[in-house]
Amino acid sequence: MVFQNLKAELRIDGKIVNPGKSFRQGITLGQNGKDKLLIWLELSVNSRIYFNISGAVPGRTK
C-alpha cells in the first residue's frame, strides 16, 4: 500500500519547522483500522507556544 500526502507541515509560533532530528512524522494503522498521523517533537520551552499542523491527508491509493 502507498500512502498519499504523508508530509504534514508544522508551524510553531508561525514559523515552519523542517523535518529532522527534533521533528519526525509518520503514519500508523489505528486499532479501528484507520490511518493515524504521528508527530514526534523534541523541544523545551519556558512559555506558551502555538502549533499549527496542516497538509497531511492520510489515504491509500490503489
Q: Residue 23 in 3-state DSSP?
A: strand
- The residue ranges of every structural domain in the chain are 2-52
Give 53 or 1, the one with higher predicted confidence: 53
pLDDT digits (tens, 9 = 90+) for 3-62: 555 688 999 999 999 999 999 988 888 888 887 888 999 999 999 999 999 887 656 544
What pLDDT shows up at residue 35?
Answer: 79
Q: How far is CA 52 from the centre of its chain?
A: 10
What pLDDT, on a 0 to 100 scale, did the predictor assign at position 41? 93
Rounded to two decimals, the pTM is 0.69
User: In this structure, are strands 23-29 and 35-41 parallel, antiparallel, or unpaired?
Assistant: antiparallel
With a cut of 50, say whether residue 1 has pLDDT above it: no
CA 47 to chain centre: 22
